[in-house]
Copies of this chain bind each other. A is one copy, B any other.
Amino acid sequence: MRAKDENKEWTIREKAIEMIVHEGFDGLSMHKLARAAKISVSTIYIYFRNREDLLNQLYAAVVETFVQHTMAGFDPDMDFEAGLWLQWKNRYAYILKYPLQYHFSEQFRNSPLIKKQDDAPEVVFKRAMQQFVANAEEKGEIVRLPREVFWAIAYGPFYTLVKFHLDQHAISGIPFTLSDELLQQAFQRTMRALRV
């Protein structure tokens, strides 16, 4: 028996994400992908059932990496302000580390390809987040709000800043680079909105 070349699958995944980010979903064809990965078309089908399966696997892997990075050092019983700040920092670090993966996931999430599957490691993650907020509410650290309103306030500014950063220019059209300092500033203001 001949063993699978682990490099091959990794290269396919990497090139696929690159192509999608640079050329969009209609820029990703199996033939072009094969050429970019310097393998034969049919080899892709050894690792992935078809194009759709490839896309879904890519997204699943990205979500898993995201969850891992986000949960580093996090505990639902943390003090709220420290916990939310850690979340911001972890997510920021993840995005800086894997900008292409993040960009791909944003494209995927906004496309019709996304089919919410509630089996992923996301579920554990979501549960931890909910516990975290419930704790903070009980301890009186934050105001009681409908879940969605709360999350929108807690993360909306963060993701908007990230979008500005990745777009390289905000409202004014002037180049913009996100920094720890700006993140801190936005966070302090966000906390004012969340405290009782």
Interface residues of A (CB under 8 A from B): 21-28, 106-107, 110-113, 116, 118, 126, 129-130, 143, 145-149, 151-153, 155-161, 164, 169-173, 176, 182, 185-186, 189-190, 192-194
Q: A147-B170, A151-B164, A189-B194 are in contact. List 4 more A-B contacts (CB 8 A).
A: A21-B112, A106-B110, A107-B110, A153-B190
Q: Which residues of B contact A146 (CB under 8 A)?
A: 182, 185
- A46 to nearest B CB, angstroms? 23
Which of B113, B170, B182 is within 8 Å of A151, CB to CB?
B170
The majority secondary structure among interface residues of chain A is helix
Q: Which residues of B contact A157 (CB under 8 A)?
A: 149, 152-153, 156-157, 193
Q: Which residues of B contact A190 (CB under 8 A)?
A: 153, 193
- A113 to nearest B CB, angstroms? 6
- Assembly CA distance A124 to B152 (angstroms): 29
Pick the 10 closest A-B CB pairs, nearest first: A156-B156, A156-B160, A26-B26, A156-B157, A152-B160, A193-B193, A148-B170, A152-B157, A189-B193, A152-B161
Q: How many copies does the complex hold?
A: 2
- A118 to nearest B CB, angstroms? 6
- Assembly CA distance A172 to B72 (angstroms): 21
Q: Which residues of B contact A161 (CB under 8 A)?
A: 148-149, 152, 156
Q: Is the CB of A148 within 8 A of B25?
A: no
Closest partner residue, chain B, to A107 (CB atom): B110
Q: Is the CB of B107 within 8 A of A186?
A: no
Q: Which residues of B contact A143 (CB under 8 A)?
A: 189
Which of B111, B149, B155, B169 is within 8 Å of A116, CB to CB?
B169
Q: Which residues of B contact A126 (CB under 8 A)?
A: 171-173
